[in-house]
Amino acid sequence: MRRHTTFRQLEIFESIARLGSFTRAAEELFLTQPTVSMQMKKLAENVGIPLIEQIGKKIHLTPDGQQLAQATREIFNILSHYTMSVAERQGLKQGQLRLMAITTASYFAPRLLGEFARLHPGIDVSLRVTNKEQVLASIADNLDDLYFVGQPPEDIDVVATPIMDNPIIVLAAPDHPLANKKHISLERIAQEPWLMREKGSGTRNAIERRFAEHDLNIHPRLELGSNEAIKQAILAGLGISALSRHALTLNAPDQFAVLDVKGFPILRHWYAVYPAGRQLTVTARAFLDYLLGREDAAPSMPASQGKAKKGRNPCIARTG
């Protein structure tokens, strides 16, 4: 790599590698797209080998590009730690906090982040909300400071801290015939038309596991890719479903009937997770402490933690 490779070029390259798009990198860095393209052309000339390939509309990193992406991530992590150590001396006056949340966590994550950002206005915060696969890929690549998930990954070595209860409740339209019934059995509720989240959703897995524990199957009438779509379908009278209680955060209290079903709510937790090898930045540690100090934090500890070990601050170190 020749001498005139600039820090800016590496910064743009890192952003493209992380976001998978020139346009999004340009937006993130407040640059025009021609500037981004030109800088990447210069970077490839400086390095002397192609780093990024475009196939149709998609861009891919070449193997050399992937190596450079890894190197830039390490450089930025080191710099970020340096900035944090300065911030520590200045008492959290400045710094960066990068969070990623799985879709359903979007009901509470922005609020928590907003409260923390108000307490520490000098800290630059970012939150990406995305699906499970992308969260897992980012944890594996060590891209963000903390991740909000409903289930710690099994096959990545992480430290997972339960930060809040996440009850899964059964919901129906308010005029549903079961709306005022008590102690509805799982057998009875299994016969209802179910509206289910897409395969791979943590909520869906939890529901299917609960029925499977009782040798019951439910038959999805509709499969929908978001909690909001499920709520609309319930109100349209298409069936019932079970969602995180947090999915009702913005709904009027009587908009849905919460059915009294034996075996529900399913008691799950929200976890803040980070890769076991990662040293938390001062800001991320302060945010985690802030989460655990909140009134509605105090999660009831998970009943079963498998091979997990309890650590400090009810942390669970999981090894895959």
Smallest gap from residue 200 Cβ to ligand PGA (A): 7
Smallest gap from residue 244 Cβ to ligand PGA (A): 6
Q: Which is nearer to ligand PGA, 104 or 281 (CB)?
A: 104
Where does residue 259 rank: exposed (0-12), middle (13-18), buried (19+ CB within 10 A)? Answer: buried
Q: Which is nearer to ligand PGA, 34 or 225 (CB)?
A: 225
Distance CA 317, CA 172 (A): 38
Q: Which is nearer to ligand PGA, 202 or 239 (CB)?
A: 202
Q: Which is nearer to ligand PGA, 130 or 313 (CB)?
A: 130
Smallest gap from residue 268 Cβ to ligand PGA (A): 6
Q: Which is nearer to ligand PGA, 12 or 102 (CB)?
A: 102
Where does residue 242 rank: exposed (0-12), middle (13-18), buried (19+ CB within 10 A)? Answer: buried
Residue 317 phi/psi, 5° resolution? -95, 120
Smallest gap from residue 284 Cβ to ligand PGA (A): 21
Distance CA 139, CA 200 (A): 17
Do 67 and 10 meet the contact criterion of CB atoms below 8 Å apart?
no
Distance CA 171, CA 241 (A): 5
The closest of 183, 202, 298 to 243, measured between CA atoms, is 202
Q: Where are the alpha helices (DSSP H) in the chain?
A: 7-19, 22-28, 33-47, 63-90, 109-119, 132-141, 186-190, 202-212, 227-235, 282-293
Q: How far is CA 129 from the centre of its chain?
A: 6
- Residues in touch with ligand PGA (CB under 6 A): 102-104, 132, 150-151, 197, 201-203
Where does residue 193 rank: exposed (0-12), middle (13-18), buried (19+ CB within 10 A)? Answer: middle
Q: Which is nearer to ligand PGA, 38 or 263 (CB)?
A: 263
Q: Which is nearer to ligand PGA, 9 or 201 (CB)?
A: 201
The closest of 56, 308, 313 to 158, measured between CA atoms, is 308
Q: Which is nearer to ligand PGA, 5 or 151 (CB)?
A: 151
Smallest gap from residue 270 Cβ to ligand PGA (A): 8
Smallest gap from residue 286 Cβ to ligand PGA (A): 25
* Distance spanning both ends of the chain, measured CA to CA: 37
Tokens of 43: 């970077």
Taking CB atoms, the residue at the shortest distance from ligand PGA is 202
Smallest gap from residue 241 Cβ to ligand PGA (A): 11
The closest of 264, 253, 254, 259 to 239, measured between CA atoms, is 259
Smallest gap from residue 9 Cβ to ligand PGA (A): 37
